[in-house]
Structure 1
Amino acid sequence: MHSPGRPVGCAAWVRAKETLRLNQLDRKEMNIDVRRLPLSHAALWVGLYIATGILSGQFNVATATRAPYVWLPAGVSLAAMLLSRSQSSTPLAFAFALVQSVLSHFGGRDIPSSLVLGTLAGLSPLVASAVVRWMQVPLEGLHLLRAVVVAALISAILLGGGGSLYFAMFKGTPFMLPFGEWSAAIFVGVCISAPLLAVWAQVRPKRSVRRNGPREMVGSIAFVTMVALTWWIFEGDTADWFDAAGATLPIYLPMFCVVIVATVGGARGGTLAVLVLTLICLGYTARGDGPFASQSASPALSLFQAQLYVGMSAMLVLIVHALHDGEAKAYAQAERWRTELELALAGSALVAYTVDPRTQVVQWRGDVERLIGHAAELLPTVEHILARVHPLDRERLRDHWNSPAPAGASAPASLKFRLATPLAPDTWVEFVDQGSSLSDGNGHTAFVAGVWQRQPVKAA
């Protein structure tokens, strides 16, 4: 609402109010309660768990310990509990336990082993999500990185350690080797699938979003290049040639492209790029192709190395997302402060200024043209301002700005002066300057700051 005396058509006032409204909407979007998202439906989560379980089964190889080397469902179950209401965690844990028991039994394990693995599959994400909630970290920026790493470690220890301990006690298998392999698969699986679901589950359509064509073009080119490079590097003949030549540098090129995609496209583009990289890398490695597959290494070791490769790519995306999100939040906060300052100045019929004592350059804030009568571009320096001040007031205003602030002063000094109107240079309008110089702490003037207020009575 406009207060009395404020012109309804004030462009700065309307623009500032609209910017503040958009900023408030952005804050609501950044602080949305992800536990109320529609993806919390149990049937959808169970379907994703089964799909990623079947997909992971296509990559795994048979070993003596029968520990999985690729297990993406660990991230699905964790994301389900983090993105759902806390009251839904226990029913989801039961659902995942039941589904995992069935998958394990179909995978060739006996009923007791299947029940144990199902119980661990439901318990580990339940404990991990409870710890993340207890830490009270939002699923965005640097907090997302911390939440994923903590949850991945807990899931890897509980699920990998629990399964290895059970088979060591009741099946006579070694403990440490399956524990390391199983825990690595769980950790990498969480780092790949949990961030992907977390960032894409929070997608909300925005109105009138300004598209950055060149930026999107760079992201698209980097994504296509990443896919082409990964396919070329992991293709059988190319991988054999690299292996014979002893070249390892090309395998880092897809990671470089993934970082570019994450920088340009944000967390959504980065996690999607990691998912595609994972499918290509693990698919070729499980088939016996690619730089990680060799005659001297076992299929299990090859998959383990490929897991570390895609896991490192996933961590790089999370780090880039954290840095990018921190920069975006700082920019948004600065923009909100600027908007609120503009609103405060417009509501008080004031304009604010700062003067650099070294360059004599003046920076204005507020609706300068409406309140002063001159555009801010016409008053860029102290000399340009003084040229429009009444001759009898020029030196007074100059001295006012050059004088150091009195020691112990509780408020800036006030000075009345007259300024020429743009259409009638011989007609003067009276203003009050309330400002003073600010010290840099070493006895020197850092800059001069203050506000101007127009007086209702014109000076003759």
Structure 2
Amino acid sequence: MKASSWLQPLLFAIIYGLLAFFSIDAQDSANLSTLIWPSAGILLGALMLSPARQWPMWMLIAGVLHTTASLTNSRPPSMALLFTTADLATMAAIAALWRYRVGEACTLTQPRSLFWFIGLVLVGCIAGGLVTDEALEWLHHPTAHYGWSTWAISVGIGCLTGAPLVMAWGNFRVRLIGGPNRQNLLIGLLWFTALLVTAEIAFDGPTSTWVFGDTNYELTYLPLLFVVLVAMVWEERGTTLALVTLALVAGVNTLQGEGPFVFEAQQRSLALIEVQGYVGAAALMGLTMSAINASRQQALQLAAAWKVRFEGALLSSRHLMYEFDPHSGKISWGGEVQALLGLSAASLATLDDFLARVHPDDRQPFIDHAQFNDKGSDEILTQSYRFRFRCADGEYRDAVVTGAPIVDFDGEVYRVDGLLHLESELTMVQRV
């Protein structure tokens, strides 16, 4: 038996169980609804990341641990089974719909998949809270007027923080290459340290008193800035670490009766609901920035890959690409100009530089090709011209340029693009 076949369920059971027993201890005495429930996110992440054939295993483990934690904390059996069933059904529905909408790309680093994740969590948790509240009334269990919203908030925030953590680290492998470079690692470490320091000052009473002399908690929303900064450089995994750290600092201190959401005349349950809203806002900001940054990095990598393919095709076919700006007279080159012509691209940076090396008898057709004057877009066609070009050794060689202008919406030429092919072999190449 492979180690991973039992290690993952064991790790899931340990994490889920510890979070479940911890959360049950913070339950609301008015309606026995758990105010902090990150276990929902751990289960949701496992379902989103795993194939459907493994879902019964995760749900069985979660169901047993959830029910056991409820019963050991004097929760009525009917209520324990109700909350367990509601949790399992809601997480399974969210995971199934999410996978149906995003397909096999099980990731939250794309804006589309993140949009569906957030939307389904929002709708699913509200629906689950309403159904659970109705079921409690049917079972004749007294509930407070905010009972359904308490369930929806605790489960929803647990999903926003726990599921991305599982998604980011569930298939973690140590990579020798890839990921953030050294500079981004150091910058991210700086932002993460700032997040930890500001979160301690904002939510820990003794630390705030030591820094400011009182407990005014002036830096309550500054940690949100550093969550976003961490997401910009550490991407998905760093974002989840930042969110878990902030949730841990804010949640533990609020449970201890400290922090900006705790007031003398306020019940602890209301403070916990408010701090969960704070963590939820941080999760939305961090996950959104992480997805935007991941999409940008993917676009840059795709552009770099196409650049390598394009330059390889030019080099193997002995072609050069040019882009001529008729307004400035400047030429941009693509390909190995030095290798094919024996000249640097800088020495051919303008039309005048290039025409100086074209044979005098062949210049006028090339000038016409470059200018295209004021022809309408319906008259402009791709054209080829053969001419003689003086290379670095002073010898003229046959060359062919093929190109056409690019016109704007007004029918005016703003670029001339094409390819240049040197037909005669360049035997001696001068290299700088």
**TM-score, scaled relative to structure 1:** 0.83
Any conservation in 2 of the 1:99–1:118 contact (CA below 8 Å)?
Answer: no
Letter in 1 for 2:391: T
Provide the rounded CA distance (Å) in 2 between the counterparts of 1:82 and 1:226.
29
**Shift in Å at residue 267 of structure 1?**
1.8
**Which residue pairs with 1:7 in the alignment?**
none
Matches within 5 A, 1:284-433: 284-404=253-373, 412-422=382-392, 424-425=393-394, 427-433=395-401
Relative to structure 1, the CA distance from residue 55 to residue 347 in structure 2 (aligned partners, 3 Å threshold; closer, same or farther) is: farther
Deviation at 1:55, TM superposition (A): 3.6
Note the alpha carbon deviations across 1:237-277, whole angstroms, 9 max, x for none.
56679999996652011111111111121121121111011
2:9 to 34, 42, 46: 42
Q: CA distance change for structure 1 residues 409 and 40 in 2, over 3 Å: closer, same or farther?
A: farther
For residues 161 and 407 of structure 1, the distance between their equivalents in structure 2, rounded to whole angstroms, comes to: 62
Q: 1:149 to 1:38 in 2, by over 3 A?
A: farther
1:128 corresponds to = 94
Q: Quote how far apart the aligned CAs of 1:413 are.
A: 1.4
Structure-2 separation of matches of 1:145 and 1:240: 39
> In the alignment, residue 17 of structure 2 is paired with which amino acid?
I
C-alpha contact (below 8 Å) 2:326/2:370 kept by paired residues: no
More displaced, 352-361 or 110-119? 110-119
Change (3 A) 1:87 1:441: same
Q: Deviation at 1:359?
A: 1.5
Q: How does 1:58-69 map to 2 (within 5 A)?
A: 60-69=26-35
Matched, 1:119 2:88: no
Distance 1:260 1:281 in 2: 19
- The residue identity in structure 2 corresponding to 1:341 is F
Are the equivalent residues in 2 in contact too, given 1:142–1:321 (CA < 8 A)?
A: no
Once residues 283 and 173 of structure 2 are traced to their aligned partners in structure 1, the CA distance between those partners, rounded to angstroms, is: 23
Shift in Å, 1:291? 1.0
2:177 and 2:83 mapped to 1: Cα distance? 49
Specify whether residues 406 and 111 from structure 1 end up closer, same or farther in structure 2 by C-alpha distance, changes over 3 A only.
closer
User: Which residue number in structure 1 is paired with residue 158 of structure 2?
Assistant: 189
Partner of 2:430: none
Tell me the distance in 1 between the aligned counterparts of 2:119 and 2:28.
30
Indicate the residue corresponding to 1:446 in structure 2: 414
Which residue type is aligned with residue 18 of structure 2? A
- Tell me, what secondary structure is at the counterpart of 2:359? coil
Question: Offset at 1:71?
Answer: 0.3
Partner residue in 1 for 2:66: 100
**Closer, same or farther in 2 for the Cα pair 1:123/1:225, shift >3 Å?**
same
Alpha-carbon RMSD: 2.8
The one-letter amino acid paired with 1:45 is: F
TM-score, L = length of structure 2: 0.88
Give how far 1:360 is off.
Answer: 1.5
Deviates more, 1:92-101 or 1:152-161: 152-161
Q: Which residue of 1 aligns with 2:403?
A: 435
CA distance in 2, matches of 1:130, 1:401: 58
Structure 1 residue matching 2:87: 3-state secondary structure = helix
Q: Name the CA distance, whole Å, in 2 between partners of 1:246 and 1:98.
A: 42
Q: Is the alpha carbon distance of 1:42 and 1:167 closer, same or farther for their aligned partners in structure 2, counting shifts above 3 Å?
A: same
The change in CA–CA distance for 1:204 and 1:346 in structure 2 (over 3 A counts) is farther
Task: Provide Cα deviations, 1:106-128, integer angstroms capped at 9, x if missing partner.
Answer: 12113232222222232221111
- Match for 2:149 among 173, 180, 193? 180
Query: Residue 93 of structure 1 aligns to a residue in which SS?
Result: helix
Q: Which residue of 1 aligns with 2:223?
A: 254
Query: Equivalent residue of 1:392, what SS?
Result: helix
Deviation at 1:450, TM superposition (A): 0.8
CA offsets, 1:363-383, max 9 Å, x none?
Answer: 111222222232223221112
Q: Is the 8 A contact 2:203 2:260 kept in 1?
A: yes
Q: Would you say the 8 A contact 2:201–2:207 is kept in 1?
A: yes
Partner Cα distance (1:119, 1:190) in 2:
16
Counterpart among 201, 213, 232 of residue 232 in structure 1: 201
1:200-230 residue CA offsets vs partner (Å, 9 max, x unmatched): 2243444444864443322111111111111
Q: Answer yes or no: is the 8 Å Cα contact 2:203–2:217 preserved in 1.
A: no
- Tell me the percent identity: 24
Structure 1: which 5+ residue stretches go unaligned? 1-36
Cα distance change, pair 408–290 in 1 and its aligned pair in 2 (3 A): closer
How many angstroms apart in 2 are the aligned matches of 1:113 and 1:457?
A: 85
For 1:289 and 1:82, how far apart are their aligned partners in 2? 35
Q: Does the aligned pair in 2 maintain the 1:438–1:447 contact within 8 Å?
A: yes
1:71 aligned partner, one-letter code: W
Q: 1:306-329, CA deviations, whole angstroms, 9 ceiling, x for partnerless residues? A: 111111101110111122122222
Letter in 2 for 1:383: D
* 2:330/2:351 contact within 8 Å kept: yes
Write the distance in 2 (CA, Å) between the matches of 1:278 and 1:407. Answer: 60
The correspondence of residues 147-166 of structure 1 with structure 2, limited to 5 A, is: 147-157=116-126, 159-166=128-135
Counterpart position of 2:140 = 171
2:352 is paired with a residue of what secondary structure? helix
Residue identity opposite 1:420 in structure 2: R
The letter of the residue matching 1:259 is V
Contact persistence 1:354–1:363 (CA under 8 A): yes
* Secondary structure, counterpart of 1:222 in structure 2: helix
- Say whether the 8 Å CA contact 2:208–2:217 is kept in structure 1: no
* Mapped partners of 1:216, 1:206: distance in 2: 14
Deviation at 1:453, TM superposition (A): 1.2
Offset from partner CA, 1:399-428 (integer Å, 9 cap, x none): 221125686569521111111121x22x11
Structure 1 residue ranges (4+ consecutive) displaced by more than 6 angstroms after TM superposition: 37-40, 240-246
1:103–1:147 Cα change, 3 Å:
farther
Give the gaps of 5 or more residues in structure 2: 427-432
Are the aligned partners of 1:148 and 1:190 in contact in 2 as well (CA < 8 Å)? Answer: no
